[in-house]
């Protein structure tokens, strides 16, 4: 029977082993247990980050959809702009003349004077 394949030790584990040998720490040292807890904690956070981050294909699909919606919006806006340019209003706004503005101001002054005399 073959033994199940073992994973090669990663860099963190190798660094811990080298540090342990350098400082002559026993296998049951409490500090090594703290490092093991840190490793568990780090693996959990790495797993959570991988779950929360969308994959690149999801991001790419979102960009493709955004491009499609933008293109459709631009087409519809161009069609609306073209229709508005073709539409000619029956009532054109005419800028007031200087004479009309002067007569309106004069009439407002005269009416103001009469109202002032009437109320006083």
pLDDT given for residue 7 in this prediction = 56
Q: Is residue 38 part of a domain?
A: yes
Q: Is residue 115 part of a domain?
A: no
Q: Is residue 45 part of a domain?
A: yes
pLDDT given for residue 99 in this prediction = 94
Walk along the chain (120 residues) and give the pLDDT tens digit of each residue.
455 555 555 787 888 888 888 888 787 888 888 888 888 888 888 888 777 777 788 889 999 999 999 999 999 999 999 888 887 766 677 888 999 999 999 999 999 998 888 876
Give me the domain span that covers residue 81.
11-85
Q: Is residue 108 part of a domain?
A: no
DSSP line for 32-70: HHHHHHHHHHHHHHHHHHHHHSPPHHHHHHHHHHHHHHH
How many independent structural domains does the chain possess? 1
């Amino acid at each position: 029977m073959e033994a199940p394949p073992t994973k090669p030790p990663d860099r963190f584990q190798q660094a811990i082993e080298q540090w342990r040998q350098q400082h002559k720490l026993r296998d049951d040292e409490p500090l090594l247990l703290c490092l093991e807890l840190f490793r568990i904690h780090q693996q959990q956070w790495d797993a959570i980050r991988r779950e929360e981050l969308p994959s690149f294909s999801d991001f790419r699909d979102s960009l493709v959809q955004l491009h499609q919606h933008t293109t459709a919006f631009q087409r519809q806006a161009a069609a609306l702009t073209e229709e508005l340019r073709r539409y000619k209003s029956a009532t054109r706004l005419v800028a007031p003349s200087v004479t009309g503005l002067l007569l309106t101001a004069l009439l407002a002054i005269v009416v103001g004077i009469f109202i002032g005399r009437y109320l006083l």
